[in-house]
Amino acid sequence: MPVIRKNLKVALIQHACSDDRDQNVALISDKIEQAQSAGAKLIVLQELHNSLYFCQTEETRLFDLAEPIPGPSTDQFSALAGKLGVVIVSSLFEKRAAGLYHNTAVVLDADGSIAGRYRKMHIPDDPGFYEKFYFTPGDLGFKPIQTSVGKLGILVCWDQWYPEAARLMSLAGAEMLIYPTAIGWDPNDAEDEQQRQREAWVTVQRGHAVANGLPVIACNRVGHEADPSGHSAGITFWGHSFACGPQGELLGVAGKSEENLLVDLDMARSESVRRIWPFLRDRRIDSFADLQRRYIDDI
């Protein structure tokens, strides 16, 4: 019997941010409505979309940007999801308790309910990306979130580089992998180095799609954000949000300016691809115990 196609239109909302939270939310809300009008049923927002990327410096006052979940942002985006009948993947600075904060993706279902959340597991600590100062590593594991449009494997930014994270989401039944992202260049890097970095970012995620037989959605921010401390040239977020199918085939790629990228996913394609490339069948799980070690240095 032929495979029945089940198409899902997805919108990736790529935009620049300001230091005005309400202005950002108003902009995002308008873009969500535009995406819904264009037929999108799943709308993916970029990492920490309510504010500037504050992790360029370590400032205790910036913990004031965090909020509880449920809280103001989930209330606003839940109401919008319910009004428009769409699923929204948001990315928030979560205040779990005094002194305990997470980088958290929250999924709002089409009926306005909170379908679930994912707390970023891999936390970077590099010049310009001082996230370990702000975020406690996630403790919810790699568990897909069931929604009205499918089972979503949500991961966040730095998680993109880890095949283990993508694999565990896949093994738990995710129907797609989704990465809200805030990644960019040091403006002082040479152009060829900038291009290598961006291509590596695209390539590794397309590899996750191929290795797991799943579509991948990566939504990145755009625009230059200055370093408030003045110690660096800031970050130029490169945009280039994209979606690819389960063989890594590119379905849509955004540019480096604000854009609603619309793509169509064939939700039946993963089944067809996995039948001809049965990677899950042939995994040697009896020989993978060393993956739980930091490094194998006794051979």
To the nearest 5 percent, what fractions of the chain are helix, strand and coil? 30, 30, 40
Calculate the CA 95 to chain-centre distance. 19
User: Would you kindly state where each structural domain of the chain is located, as residue ranges?
Assistant: 7-279
Q: Are 209 and 245 in contact (CB under 8 A)?
A: yes
The one-digit pLDDT tens for each residue of the chain (299 residues) are: 444 458 999 999 999 999 999 999 999 999 999 999 999 999 999 999 999 999 999 999 999 999 999 999 999 999 999 999 999 999 999 999 999 999 999 999 999 999 999 999 999 999 999 999 999 999 999 999 999 999 999 999 999 999 999 999 999 999 999 999 999 999 999 999 999 999 999 999 999 999 999 999 999 999 999 999 999 999 999 999 999 999 999 999 999 999 999 999 999 999 999 999 999 999 999 999 999 999 998 76
Packing angle of the helix pair 21-37, 72-84 (nearest 10 deg): 20
* Cα–Cα distances in angstroms (integers) from residue 278 to residues 158, 165, 188, in the given order: 27, 19, 44
Catalytic residues: 47, 120, 157
One-letter amino acid for residue 209 of the chain? A
Instruction: Note the CATH number of domain 7-279.
Output: 3.60.110.10
Q: What is the pTM of this model?
A: 0.96
